[in-house]
Amino acid sequence: MASRPPVSDHTLDIAAEPAAIIEAFFSPAALAEWWKAVRAVTTPRMMGVYAVEWAPTSTRDDLFGPMGGVLYGTVVDYKPSRGFLVAEAHWLPPESEPVGPMALHVECTPGPGPGVTKLRVLQTGGDDTPRWRHYYDMTSQGWTGSLAALRTYLEAARQRDIVAPHPDPLPASGARE
């Protein structure tokens, strides 16, 4: 039986609307917060660019050197409240050879309760070689921490929206005094 290529597959529930979750993958400000990106060019549409850059880390991996670098690909499917697919994605580590091609699938579905969305992030590509297995071992750990940060970011934003004071309603005449 042939071995299956490695993948990175993560699912978690987030108390946020699907559109807010998808937007957090495309907003440079959000990506800087939860994914620690130093730069991002992301275009939420078919054939849009998806490029995210991280600063090189001070720690070094035996195979890839410092972490960080650039992940880039092409958005080939985009649904603002459901998910997106980035194809022909490559990771350019700061000091070693590129890793790719691969695909990044992000999907939102109804969660277990009201106001909760189930997020699935699936990264596929490569083959069953030591380099690819090592890459997926590293990225699986990275996705676990990053998606926890995404949940914290989105749920804190939602909480701020819930408790933020709303402006006074307009007087009955409809004009501000």
- Reported as a single tens digit per residue, the pLDDT across 80-137 is 999 999 999 999 999 999 999 999 999 999 999 999 999 999 999 998 899 999 999 9
Q: What is the identity of the amino acid at 82?
A: R
In a domain, 146, yes or no: yes
In a domain, 111, yes or no: yes
Closest CA to 52 of 65, 67, 35, 66: 35
In a domain, 153, yes or no: yes
Q: What is the mean pLDDT of residues 22-28?
A: 98
Query: Residue 62 belongs to what domain range?
Result: 8-163
Give kind and range of the element (H or E) at residue 87. Answer: strand 83-92
In a domain, 174, yes or no: no
In a domain, 173, yes or no: no
In a domain, 34, yes or no: yes
- The helix/strand/coil state of 172 is coil
Six token digits for residue 172:
């009955």
Residue 171 has pLDDT above 60, yes or no: no
In a domain, 168, yes or no: no
- The tally of domains found in the chain comes to 1
Six token digits for residue 18:
């699907």
The CATH number given to whatever domain includes residue 42 is 3.30.530.20
Residues 6+ apart with CB under 8 A from 155: 14, 15, 16
Tell me what the pLDDT averaged over the chain comes to. 91
In a domain, 177, yes or no: no
Six token digits for residue 11:
């699912």
